[in-house]
Amino acid sequence: MSFDILGKAVELLISYPLCDYCLGRQFARLGYGLSNRQRGEALKTTIAMLIHSWVEEGEELEKAKEIAANGGLNAVIQVLEKKTGEKLVGRECTLCSGLLSEERFEELAGRIARELKTYEFRTFLTGAVVPPAIREAEDRIRSGLNIATGEDIKNDITRGVGRRVAELTGAKVEYLNPDITILVDYFNSTFQLQVNPVFIYGVYLKHKRFIPQTIWFCRRCWGRGCSSCNYTGREYETSVSELVGVPAMEYFEALDYKFHAAGREDVDALVEGTGRPFVLELKHPRKRLLDLKRLEELINSRSAGVVEVRELRFSSRRELRELKAMSPRASKTYVAEVVFSSPVEASKLAEVEERFRNVTIEQRTPKRVLRRRSDRVRNKLLHEVKVLEHSGNRVVFRIRTQGGLYVKELIDGDNGRTRPSISELLGAEPEQIKLTVVEVEHKLIQEQQLSSGA
Ligand SMILES: [Zn+2]
Ligand SMILES: [Zn+2]
């Protein structure tokens, strides 16, 4: 037997006061291109005709009165009042208390659109919070009457508000990755905007030593300011993260930023060559459709000679995850300028090149980082060591390694904690080591970008 829609609707209205939305929503899975309000109206029109026929026949008057009052069927109420001489009043919807209405949707969407005016965005998604009591009441009604054709009241709210916001702003609804999420608390008549971050990919170069990648607070006062840090609160005046993040944050009118790089270099190492990849996350930005070429100029002119960014383009949270996942594995290439305590023989250097080709280095956590990292032995692959320049006790090496190998210790041996080491093989002590990162592998990321079509 087919599902008796009209019979169910009559049963619903005998027991519960329901507005057009809340009656129609119980049959939301039936009928294309209709709103729940239209479904409810259509059912109520038919029911009003049915009751009218009962009243004409003088049948089921008590039932008729309940249905008319619960459904707010004004035309029938008039007929019944005439017939019985009793006063009948329409009742407030038991689920939404009459709050679902075109007028209230308009009003709330208008307020949301006014606030959205201060943001640049193309896509949005509307979400709704609904008091649990409403949902529980609706569940009880449905299970009591065996109704399986309904939908969540959330959908009435997100459609009612979302459609109007789209009209008012010209923005599109996007489910997967919206620029802005509007969280509507309809029954309290409030809303929250969750402005999703802008992600920017790029590479940075660091042309000056003693610039840390991120803010490095003073070891004695942890940022409060003391005599040892000259009341700056810091070990170093600035950082790569600030030199890149602050101009970007201002340009995009964001509230905050987070700088995620593919690994980090020592504070006294340079980054040259193809640079180090990073993803900059700008939080709660008011702008998001800006020209990144201009941002590149802005950053590079402000931090001229210290930090330089290149290849800026819009990125995604997905790419950020990939960057983080692959950066420990990514291979790195360094140029190391080393001054030894005594002259180095060319034949020994040839031996270094020979010996340090695709070898595994056993490295116990370096003494200088023991405070931050646990003491254990790591096995890392060293791809190659090339001698670029040599005169007397000064040697310039190019060293390509798997990510995570400490290069200074590869050179000086760290008192036997790193084995084998260059100094061990040469039989010479390094007095000075100047490191420059010249390449951080990031082909993988770009390949994934291309294959995903992003
Ligand atoms: Zn309702
Ligand atoms: Zn201090």
Q: Tell me the CA–centroid distance for residue 101 and ligand 1, in Å.
A: 9
- What separation in Å is there between the alpha carbon of 22 and the centre of ligand 1? 4
31 φψ region: left (φ > 0), alpha (ψ -120 to 50), beta (else): left
Interatomic CA distance for residues 151 and 143, integer angstroms: 13
User: What residues form the annotated binding site for substrate?
Assistant: 334, 406
**Rg value, the chain, Cα:** 35
Helix (H, G, I), strand (E, B) or coil at 249: helix
CA gap 367, 362 in Å, rounded: 15
102-195 folds as: VC0802-like (3.30.2130)
The dihedral through the CA atoms of 342, 348, 354, 360 has a sign that is: negative
Backbone angles phi, psi at 423, to 5 degrees: -65, -40
Cα 153 to middle of ligand 1, angstroms: 9
395 three-class SS? strand
Shortest-distance ligand to the CA of residue 222:
2
Question: Which residues line the annotated binding site?
Answer: 334, 406
Domains 102-195 and 332-440 are alike in CATH topology: no
- Provide DSSP, 281-344: EEES-S--S--HHHHHHHHHHHTTTTEEEEEEEE--HHHHHHHHHHTTTS-EEEEEEEEESS--
pLDDT at 287: 97
**Any catalytic annotation for residue 266?**
yes
Predicted pLDDT at 453:
40
User: Would you give per-residue pLDDT tens digits along the chain (454 residues)?
Assistant: 467 899 999 999 999 999 999 999 999 999 888 999 999 999 999 999 999 888 888 888 889 999 999 999 998 898 888 888 889 899 999 999 999 999 999 999 999 999 999 999 999 999 999 999 999 999 999 999 999 999 999 999 999 999 999 999 999 999 999 999 999 999 999 999 999 999 999 999 999 999 999 998 898 998 899 999 989 999 898 999 999 999 999 999 999 999 999 988 999 999 999 999 999 999 999 999 999 999 999 999 999 889 999 999 999 999 999 998 887 778 999 999 999 999 999 999 999 999 999 999 999 999 988 888 889 999 999 999 999 999 999 999 999 999 889 999 999 999 999 999 999 999 999 999 999 999 998 755 455 444 444 3
CA of 219 to the centre of ligand 2 (A): 7
The CATH architecture assigned to 198-327 reads 2-Layer Sandwich (3.30)
Ligand 1 is an ion; its neighbours by CB within 5 Å are 19, 22, 93, 95-96, 100
Choosing from 20, 156, 266, 412, the catalytic residue is: 266
CATH node for 332-440: 3.30.70.3190
Q: How many helices (H) and strands (E) does the chain have?
A: 15, 14
Which of the ligands is closest to the CA of residue 226?
A: 2
Nearest ligand atom owner, CA of 17:
1
Can you give the residue ranges of every domain in the chain?
A: 5-84, 102-195, 198-327, 332-440
User: How far does residue 159's CA lie from ligand 2's centre (Å)?
Assistant: 55
Span from the CA of 116 to the centroid of ligand 1 (angstroms): 28
Ligand nearest to the CA of 36: 1
